[in-house]
Amino acid sequence: MSDLPQTQEVGDISTLDGNSQAISQIWGGLFPLKRNMPPLRSVSMSKESYTVGREGSCDIVLTSEMFTHGTLLSAVSKVHFRIARVNTSVSPQVFIYDLSTNGTFVNGQKIGKGRMQPLCNNDEISIATQNCFLFTDTLSSEYPDEVSSKYTICRSLGRVTFRGACGEVRIAYARETCVQYAMKIVPKRTFSSHRSRFGNRELTEVEILKKLNYPCIVKIHDVIETEETLFIVLELVEGGELFDRILNSGHLSEDDSKFFFLQMLMATKYLHDNGITHRDLKPENILLAGNSNRCLIKLTDFGLSKIVKDNTMLRTFCGTPTYLAPEVLLTAGNGTYTSSIDVWSLGVILYVCLVGYPPFTDERKDCDLKTQITHGLYDFPDVFWKGVSESAKDLVRRLMCVNPTERITLEDALLHPWLSDQVIRDQLADLMKTAGFPDLVDGVLDPRNLISCVRCNSSSTPVKLDGDANGTDSGENNETVSYLGNSSTTRKRSFEEMTGNSCQSQSKKSAF
């Protein structure tokens, strides 16, 4: 092979997956496109990779008889291209690697020497000016041309979880760049009798995400709507859900909880500053950008969100009951409630992070779930909370205040002593810089300097965060805020105070 031209491979398979193994099942095929190519028969592909060229050691050897003009063989490199099925960190994917001097083309587009791209079902592979092969992915399903012309869609998500309100999520490769995305696929038939409602819900998710650009918010890249299906192309977040992180570890340490929760507050505040209430905050809708305990979080699943105009109340009854605010349950969604419902949900999430079980559960026999939530019937049993600081408990109490007018604001939560840990803030500031958001660093290091880079607006001028999410002066709640241990004026009302009855304290139940 020493006499081969300088058409070295793009890289070892191990650069994409260190655990590649031989593949026994047939995953693809190559079919000759010209009838005058008798020496070449269709090839069923079951090995992990195949080389094609004029060198005799190639898996598929090209000869002059295979070309309409025999002189075209001179344009073929000894190893012209390689096709490989790679077990990436997400799921198996087929790639074509251009190793040639004169070019390998897929559907008429040149790949370029030293480059690769995903290969999908029915792609035509050309050498020089001649179409030579049709590639078929025997494991793939068909997608509309509007989608397949831009993306290669994998068969499954593999280890990545990305749950949506409806539909499924798969890994998609942008054909031009090989960048991986999460593609949410929503068949319109799932709208059924609630067609308008469910269609609007998904479209709302699209419109909201299009406007957002924040390191702790899942970014939307593309939307393709066909007659039967809606395809939403989202930033791929590979660290899984906070739900699973808590489930696998039992609970998070106080430092880890603090690191993630600081990001949740900042991301939720960013949403509120842009007139958006999430309304379905829960561990399943908080994704992790990596597997370490010092990674960015990503809020996702805005299918239940709604853009709130100034002084507008939310009237849609939706969300996950365990994390729903009391005012939502009390009115069954028919009353008025504000963005502070997200603050309550964050309090429940923090509670779950710290001890691994929820403050409210429908497994209690003495009080139903609604009663527990609307009366603020939660506690901090020493057997489970002994190692948790009083400052953390104080923040939970302030977040989970039954009366929304007494509930702590996001601004004040960011200033809470529990979150004043400079080591944690320095770690997060470094991540923000690495993620390409250096303008957020000052706000991370000192929340009094917190600014919202409202990139979704036409103005590029940073906006200082004044007032609450609904345009009212947050100062009206400041007088009720005290950071002196347990002297919080946002004390939960007991069941006895509300009804004169009593409920036994719950035993620890897993949140999951």
Cα(507)–Cα(497) distance, integer angstroms: 22
Q: At what angle do helices 390-399 and 254-273 cross, to 10 degrees?
A: 30
CATH class of 242-480: mainly alpha
How is domain 13-140 classified at the CATH fold level? Tumour Suppressor Smad4 (2.60.200)
In contact, 260 and 346? CB cutoff 8 Å: no
Residue 190: both structure tokens together: 């799932």
Phi/psi at 232 (nearest 5 deg)?
Answer: -115, 120
Tens-binned pLDDT, residue by residue, of the chain (512 aa): 334 333 334 443 333 333 334 556 788 888 777 655 555 677 889 999 999 999 999 999 988 877 766 677 888 999 999 999 988 766 788 999 999 999 999 999 999 999 999 998 878 899 876 778 878 787 665 688 888 778 877 645 533 333 344 668 887 777 677 678 888 887 776 554 444 444 676 667 667 777 789 999 999 888 888 888 888 898 999 899 999 999 999 999 999 999 999 999 999 999 998 888 888 899 999 999 999 999 999 998 765 554 444 334 455 555 568 899 999 888 876 667 899 999 999 999 999 999 999 999 888 889 898 999 999 999 999 999 999 999 999 999 999 999 999 999 999 999 999 999 999 999 999 999 999 999 888 888 887 776 444 334 333 333 222 333 333 333 333 333 333 223 333 333 332 333 333 344 444 555 45
Considering the candidates 123, 137, 256, 280, report the single residue annotated as catalytic. Answer: 280
Residue 355: φ, ψ to 5°: -130, -10
Query: How far is 163 from 197, CA to CA, in rounded Å?
Result: 19
Q: Which long-range contacts (C-beta less than 8 Å, at least 24 apart) are formed by 288-293?
A: 288/237, 288/239, 288/240, 288/241, 288/242, 288/245, 289/237, 289/238, 289/239, 290/238, 290/239, 291/239, 291/240, 293/252, 293/253, 293/256, 293/259
- Say whether 280 is catalytic: yes
Do β-strands 306-307 and 104-106 pair in parallel, antiparallel, or remain unpaired?
unpaired
pTM: 0.65
Q: Where are the domains of the chain?
A: 13-140, 148-235, 242-480
Q: Alpha-carbon distance 324 to 318, whole Å?
A: 9
DSSP-based three-state secondary structure for 354: helix
**Topology of the domain comprising 148-235:** Phosphorylase Kinase; domain 1 (3.30.200)
Is the CB of residue 330 less than 8 Å from the CB of residue 374?
yes
pLDDT at 481: 31
Distances (CA, A) of 31 to 17, 193, 202: 28, 45, 40
Beta bridge partners of 109: 106
Q: What tokens appear for 399 in the block?
A: 């977040």
> What is the model's pLDDT at position 333?
61
